[in-house]
Structure 1
Amino acid sequence: MGLIYLGFLTGASICLLLLDRRFRLFFWRDPVAAAVVSIVGVAFFLVWDLAGIGLGIFFRGESTIASGILLAPHLPLEEPVFLFFLVLCTMVLYTGSSRALAGRRSRTPEEAPGRESAS
């Protein structure tokens, strides 16, 4: 029962990657740039977490659904997986929203959905 949270994080990340693949939003659009953004994003948030742990702001709570494996004091194994999910979710939402808004702006008012031509 201790790997439920890790399993859900992994499953959610896989679902986002499938969505990404379908619409070529992030990793399937530019894998090198996506890898760099993901690594830098996860590293930034890990440093943030470690600073918070060092200052006594963040601490590990007890949970029956977590693995209990610690990478450092108060830093569970699930944290980097969650941070990757967070970065991936943010980038898929950002690139998808950018694409949707760019498509909406490129239409003329006559091409907008729901508008009938007057001719």
Structure 2
Amino acid sequence: MGALYLVALAIALTGMVLLDRRFRLFFWADARRATIVLVVGVVFFLAWDAAGIGLGIFFRGETGFMTGLVIAPELPVEEVFFLTLLCYLTMNAVGAATRMPSGRGARS
């Protein structure tokens, strides 16, 4: 049970990839741009986490659902997967929203 959270994040990421592939929302629309945006987003939030940890604001919660592996003090490996999921979900949502009709003139 020590990797349950990581497995759940991996399943959710797989769902994001499948949605992206099916509707060509992010990576399947433009892989180069998507890679840059995703990496910049994850690095930004990791820097945010590092600043919060350095200031004593963020702490790693102990639970039996996590692996216990850390990248840095107070920064669990699951955080990278979570931040990747967060950024991927956001970009898939943006991709979907930009494909929606504006609604103007749709109804009289």
Please state which band the TM-score falls in when normalised by the shorter chain: over 0.9
Deviation at 1:98, TM superposition (A): 1.3
Structure 1 distance, partners of 2:15, 2:41, is 20
Residue 12 of structure 1 and its aligned partner are, at CA, apart by 0.3
Higher relative contact order (CA 8 A, sep 6+): 2
- For structure 1, which runs of at least 5 residues remain unmatched after alignment? none
Aligned residue number for residue 77 of structure 2? 77
User: Matched residue pairs, number?
Assistant: 108
SS of equivalent to 1:101? coil
- Identify the residue that residue 44 of structure 1 maps to in structure 2: 44
Counterpart position of 1:9: 9
Deviation at 1:101, TM superposition (A): 3.4
Amino acid aligned to 2:59: F
In the alignment, the residues of structure 1 paired with residue 86 and residue 101 of structure 2 have an alpha-carbon distance, to the nearest angstrom, of 22
Structure 1 residue ranges (4+ consecutive) displaced by more than 3 angstroms after TM superposition: none
| 1:83-102 matches, cutoff 5 A | 83-102=83-102
- Give, in whole Å, the separation in 2 of the partners of 1:56 and 1:101: 45
Report the residue type matching 1:47 in the other structure: A
Aligned counterparts of 1:43 and 1:70: Cα–Cα separation in 2: 16
Q: Which runs of 5+ in 2 are unaligned?
A: none
Compare CA radii of gyration and give the structure with the larger one.
1
Tell me the distance in 2 between the aligned counterparts of 1:22 and 1:67. 32
Q: TM-score w.r.t. structure 2 length?
A: 0.94
Q: Determine the structure 2 residue equivalent to 1:22.
A: 22
> 1:60: Cα distance to partner?
0.5
